[in-house]
C-alpha cells in the first residue's frame, strides 16, 4: 500500500482570509498548468462537499504561484477538459 502524503496549499482571499486547500490534481491545457484544489477545512459548513477550486499555476523561480483565472473563456476551456477526463474515468469503470 502506498503512503500518499496530502499536499496542503494555503491561499489568502481578497478579504485577507486564509483558506486551506488540498491539492487534488494538476492538469495541462494549452501548455499551461492548472491546479484542482479541494477545501481542506471539512468543518466549513458553507462549502459544498467535493467542490473543486480551479487555479492557474505559474512558476516564479523555484516556487509555484496559484492564480485566480479571471478570463471566462480560459476557465470554461479548462472546465470542459476536466469534464472530458471525468467522462473517460466513468467509462472505464
Domain count of the chain? 1
Cα–Cα distance measured from residue 47 to residue 17, given in angstroms and rounded to the nearest whole number? 15
46 in a domain, yes or no? yes
Q: Which three cell numbers stand for residue 87?
A: 467522462
Higher pLDDT, 29 or 50: 29
- 68-82 pLDDT, tens per residue? 999 999 999 999 999
59 in a domain, yes or no? yes
pTM above 0.85, yes or no: no
2 in a domain, yes or no? no
What local confidence, expressed as pLDDT, does residue 64 receive?
Answer: 86
- 54-68 pLDDT, tens per residue? 999 998 999 889 999
Selection from 47, 45, 52, 3 nearest residue 23 by Cα: 52
- 2-13 pLDDT, tens per residue? 445 778 988 888
14 in a domain, yes or no? yes
1 in a domain, yes or no? no
Residue 49, domain extent: 8-92
Q: Give the residue carrying C-alpha cell 491546479.
A: 35
Amino acid at each position: 500500500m502506498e503512503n500518499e502524503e496530502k499536499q496542503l496549499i494555503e491561499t489568502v482571499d481578497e478579504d485577507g482570509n486564509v483558506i486551506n486547500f488540498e491539492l487534488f490534481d494538476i492538469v495541462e491545457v494549452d501548455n499551461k498548468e492548472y491546479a484542482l484544489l479541494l477545501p481542506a477545512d471539512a468543518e466549513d459548513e458553507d462549502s459544498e462537499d467535493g467542490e473543486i477550486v480551479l487555479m492557474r499555476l505559474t512558476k516564479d523561480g523555484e516556487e509555484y504561484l496559484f492564480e485566480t483565472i479571471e478570463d471566462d473563456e480560459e476557465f470554461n476551456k479548462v472546465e470542459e477538459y476536466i469534464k472530458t477526463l471525468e467522462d473517460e474515468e466513468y467509462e472505464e469503470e
